[in-house]
Amino acid sequence: MSLQMDISFVCECGELVEDIVYVQDPDFSAEKNKDSQTDTWQEIYCVSCDKEHIIQVTNTFYGAMASGNYGDMEVSYGMPYFPDDEQEELSWVIDSKDQLEIFKAQISSVESLLALDLDADLKFNLLVMLYGHVVAAVEAYLSSTFIHCVTNSEALVRKLVETDPTFSKRTFTLKEIFEERESIKITVANYLKDLIFHDLKKVKPMYRDVLNYDFGDISWLFKAVQVRHHCAHRAGYDKSGNKVDLSSEIIRGLVEKSVELVEKLDVRAKEVEFDNTLPF
């Protein structure tokens, strides 16, 4: 999901140029603000004289800014924001309460597809797709459930800020705090959607620290994510060119563990949803 920012500047010809630039996320893996900086350079043309201007957009934990022509031109810029269609998608994730039903719908067809009578090559290709499908369904449930629970509770948003070392680095000016108040849910949802759930290792401590939920031993899921990587990026082959070990029984076992994980977690998610006064 790409942030956008409105900019304006006065061209050498005297024309006021107004346009929109894209804002790259800061490097959330950085430990210090100075290391979080990302830069993009975008070409903006004056409609009056057709002169090309280079706009540099810089983003850090502390916020985004724009400058022009390598610092030689003053550029006015606003707060980064999300395009309407992408904001609508995040709003749906925030408001939806159908995470469990969606997960079950995604999983329901797996057994029927496994029962198909196919030759060996076709069967393997089907298993590759089904394995990736199951893992993706679990990840989507974990992501959407966490986002829904956290963004609908001011207490849990605060808990996220207090416990997550990356999100807590983000700072706002007083002006931005008032502007951000109405869109804080979108800001939090985008952070979680685009960062945290690209790395499953971060899911377990976040659920523990924010929702007070311990997954226990999910080494099987970490392994499944690694296998899914082979399925998604090398069509079921590892780096050495060997087929990954897949069978109908392995898929069924993955489904069984996934359903058990999701159903147990959903109990806790419902508790959080209906009682945000639970102790943390």
The DSSP string of 3-63 is EEEEEEEE-TTS-EEEEEEEEPPP-TT-SSGGGS-EEEEEEEE-TTT--EEEEEEEEETTE
Residue 68: DSSP 8-state: E
Range in 30-39, 59-68, 89-98 with the lowest mean pLDDT = 89-98
Position 98 scores a pLDDT of: 80
Mean pLDDT, rounded, for 186-199: 67
Last residue of a domain, one of 77, 101, 122: 77
Q: Is residue 36 part of a domain?
A: yes
Closest CA relative to residue 213, chosen from 139, 136, 144, 279 = 279
Mean pLDDT, rounded, for 187-209: 74
Percent of the chain with pLDDT over 90: 28
Supply angle C-alpha 92, 94, 100, rounded to 5.
Answer: 85
Q: Is residue 214 part of a domain?
A: yes
Position 62 scores a pLDDT of: 73
107/73 same-domain check = no
Statement: the pTM of the whole predicted model exceeds 0.75: no
CA 61/CA 65 separation, integer angstroms: 12
71/96 same-domain check = no
Mean pLDDT, rounded, for 91-106: 79
CA 133/CA 53 separation, integer angstroms: 45
CA 251/CA 51 separation, integer angstroms: 59
93/63 same-domain check = no
Residues in the chain: 280
Q: Is residue 217 part of a domain?
A: yes
73/149 same-domain check = no
Q: Is the pLDDT confidence value at 14 over 80?
A: yes
Position 270 scores a pLDDT of: 84
Most confident of 42-51, 193-202, 266-275: 42-51
Number of neighbours of residue 169 by Cβ within 10 angstroms: 18
Provide the residue range defining the domain that includes 44: 3-77
Q: Is residue 280 part of a domain?
A: no
Q: Is the pLDDT confidence value at 201 over 80?
A: no
Residue 271: DSSP 8-state: H
63/93 same-domain check = no
161/227 same-domain check = yes
pLDDT grade for 56, boundaries at 50, 70 and 90: very high
CA 115/CA 110 separation, integer angstroms: 9
Q: Is residue 210 part of a domain?
A: yes
Supply angle C-alpha 83, 40, 64, rounded to 5.
Answer: 60
220/163 same-domain check = yes
Q: Is residue 40 part of a domain?
A: yes
- The pLDDT tens digits for 126-165 are 999 999 999 989 988 998 888 888 888 878 888 887 887 6
Position 180 scores a pLDDT of: 56
55/139 same-domain check = no
**Beta carbons within 8 Å of 87's beta carbon, 6+ residues apart:** 81, 186
- The pLDDT tens digits for 21-44 are 988 888 766 767 778 889 999 999
201/246 same-domain check = yes
Q: Is the pLDDT confidence value at 174 over 70?
A: no
Position 170 scores a pLDDT of: 61
Q: Is residue 30 part of a domain?
A: yes
CA 127/CA 113 separation, integer angstroms: 9
Tokens of 269: 């998610």
Amino acid letter at 188? Answer: V
CA 226/CA 139 separation, integer angstroms: 13
pLDDT grade for 278, boundaries at 50, 70 and 90: very low
Last residue of a domain, one of 77, 97, 113: 77
How many independent structural domains does the chain possess?
A: 2
249/193 same-domain check = yes
49/173 same-domain check = no
221/90 same-domain check = yes
**Beta carbons within 8 Å of 97's beta carbon, 6+ residues apart:** 148, 273
Q: Is residue 218 part of a domain?
A: yes
Cβ–Cβ under 8 Å, residues 96 and 89 = no
Position 171 scores a pLDDT of: 58
Last residue of a domain, one of 77, 109, 140: 77
Q: Is the pLDDT confidence value at 79 over 70?
A: yes
Mean pLDDT, rounded, for 226-233: 84
